[in-house]
Amino acid sequence: MDKEKISCESCNYEIATHRDEAWLALCNICAPWVESSLRRRGEIPSWASSFCDSRQDMFYETRKALMKYSKIREGRGHWSRSEGTPFPTTERGWYQFLEYVMGGDYQSARIRIFHGIEIREKAIGYSNSVSAIQNRLRLVGENTEHLFGHSIRLDGNSIWVNGVLFGPKAHDIHCQNRRILPQLIFDRYNALDERTVEEMAYVYMRGPWIPLVRDTTNARVPTSFALREEICRIADGAYGGGPSDRIRSALLLWSTAVEREFLTCPRSAWARSFQWIREISQDFSDEVEIAENGIYVTGSSKNLYRISPAPPDGRTDRFEVCRIIHREEPNSSELSVGDEGDDTAPICIHSMTSNEEDLARPLGDVIVSLILALRDDIQTAERIPQLFRQLPGEFRGRRRGRGAAEFWGERYRNYVRRNEQGDGNAQHFRHMRIAVRAARAALDELAEEE
Ligand SMILES: [Zn+2]
């Protein structure tokens, strides 16, 4: 029977098979990585794929801008400073974020937001602060009281405000959370808004943007009324495509590792990065082998490693590295990969996410760095004690027994000699490129986990 010719929908390689789980044609290299990525698709909003296709230019710029806020003095205390793309941790952080999103335009909207935040801060400690209003509402009884300009009365676990019921007994969904009342009453009381509390509740609770922040990111969920309303308006496009796209790209950067996922990584960058894995595995076919469960790499120490997708709930790196311990050791010359009976020793190596360039590298690039670093494991282990501990004893001993400079000097000369035996310039250029990448991988982008 003639098999229909299909190419890989991830990297365009001409040999691929249809995969039932992903419902895509995938090649042997891409299959485990794309399938593992698609298992995480629940984290990714449905508009992400088309957005990433059309606005892939946004991510670098947005990430760079957010990095800046997390580093400048004004951003201190208002932005996360952990791994990944920084996100706002306070209302002021959100305000700074919107400064970036809206550029120099729409000053009145920005003034309105800032005013809402500032008045809240100034009221702290006074009887009209948001938390004071909250405390006062807790004391309301079943007799009508006039508080903060509203007639208010308790009704079981719900509360009437000017004839509108808020709480679990409320008819409308936007009124069912009575905890939002202090925020709304605060704005009315301070003349920040003139709409009825019910209208404001509708705006305060409306989706999908704020729920998306809450459910998919670690950013602090904005609480002040004007801030929430404007975030939704901007994301909806009320101020044009630019601001809307900047909010959307930030939401994606906060909710997922954009360039590490099949659905969100720019298509061409993803394809190129996996094509590169194939190139490397062909160049180093003695040391790199592709298997159903990942990529096997034989290091210069003769250790065998496996790079495989991390479990769905796993680390943000999306990969894990194990040293494969074969039962027949120490006859390591007879290693074969992919045996079910392999024992593995996980090694904690992860890619450092310290700057926007590293964060922007597609998954395939990260895997290539890993392959090169593990292939040259003796050298990589200089930087990564976790890996050093996995080296066979002879390498650990020899390095200690001889001067390190002499040892590495000799390795370098061997390396140069090896390159000079290559066939011409193209080969040399490729090795140079690979060597540069390997050095980066070993020195800059990999580190031992704490
Ligand atoms: Zn492929």
pLDDT tens digits along 155-165: 999 999 999 99
State residue 243's pLDDT score. Answer: 95
What would the mean pLDDT of 98-104 be, rounded to a whole number?
92
State residue 53's pLDDT score. Answer: 84
Q: State in Å: Cα 158 to ligand 1 middle.
A: 57
> pLDDT tens for residues 208-267?
999 999 998 989 999 999 999 999 999 999 999 999 999 999 999 998 888 889 999 988
Q: Give CA–CA dist 421/412, Å, rounded.
A: 15
Q: State in Å: Cα 9 to ligand 1 middle.
A: 7
Counted domains in the chain: 3
Q: Give CA–CA dist 17/36, Å, rounded.
A: 17
Answer with the residue of higher pLDDT: 141 or 391. 141
Please report whether residue 311 resides in a domain.
yes
> pLDDT tens for residues 3-37?
567 899 999 999 999 999 899 999 999 999 999 99
47-56, 63-72, 281-290: the lowest-pLDDT one: 47-56
Please report whether residue 24 resides in a domain.
no
51-65, 233-247, 421-435: the lowest-pLDDT one: 421-435
Q: Are residues 275 and 348 in the same domain?
A: yes
Residue 325 pLDDT > 90, yes or no? no
pLDDT band at 384 (very low <50, low <70, confident <90, very high): confident
Q: Are residues 293 and 361 in the same domain?
A: yes
Please report whether residue 48 resides in a domain.
no
Query: Which one of 356, 380, 395 terminates a domain?
Result: 395
Cβ–Cβ < 8 Å for 365, 424: no
Q: State in Å: Cα 130 to ligand 1 middle.
A: 55
Q: State in Å: Cα 28 to ligand 1 middle.
A: 7
Q: Are residues 364 and 339 in the same domain?
A: yes
Q: Are residues 206 and 347 in the same domain?
A: no
Query: Which one of 354, 375, 395 terminates a domain?
Result: 395
Query: Which one of 210, 235, 255 terminates a domain?
Result: 255
21-30, 138-147, 323-332: the lowest-pLDDT one: 323-332
Please report whether residue 43 resides in a domain.
no
Q: Are residues 286 and 361 in the same domain?
A: yes
What would the mean pLDDT of 301-318 be, rounded to a whole number?
81
Q: Are residues 230 and 292 in the same domain?
A: no
Number of H helices, E strands in the chain: 19, 13
Q: State in Å: Cα 292 to ligand 1 middle.
A: 13
Q: State in Å: Cα 278 to ligand 1 middle.
A: 9
Please report whether residue 324 resides in a domain.
yes
Q: Are residues 109 and 246 in the same domain?
A: yes
Determine the angle formed by the axes of helices 424-440 and 363-375, rounding to 10 degrees. Answer: 100
pLDDT band at 334 (very low <50, low <70, confident <90, very high): very low
Q: Are residues 305 and 421 in the same domain?
A: no
Q: Give CA–CA dist 267/274, Å, rounded.
A: 11
Please report whether residue 60 resides in a domain.
yes
Q: State in Å: Cα 83 to ligand 1 middle.
A: 29
Q: Are residues 271 and 364 in the same domain?
A: yes
Our CA angle for 203, 205, 211, nearest 5°, is: 125
Answer with the residue of higher pLDDT: 76 or 57. 76
Q: Are residues 188 and 322 in the same domain?
A: no
State residue 381's pLDDT score. Answer: 85
Domain that holds residue 383: 267-395
Q: State in Å: Cα 372 to ligand 1 middle.
A: 19
Cβ–Cβ < 8 Å for 19, 35: yes
pLDDT band at 391 (very low <50, low <70, confident <90, very high): confident
Q: Are residues 222 and 316 in the same domain?
A: no
Please report whether residue 225 resides in a domain.
yes
Please report whether residue 326 resides in a domain.
yes
Q: Are residues 391 and 411 in the same domain?
A: no
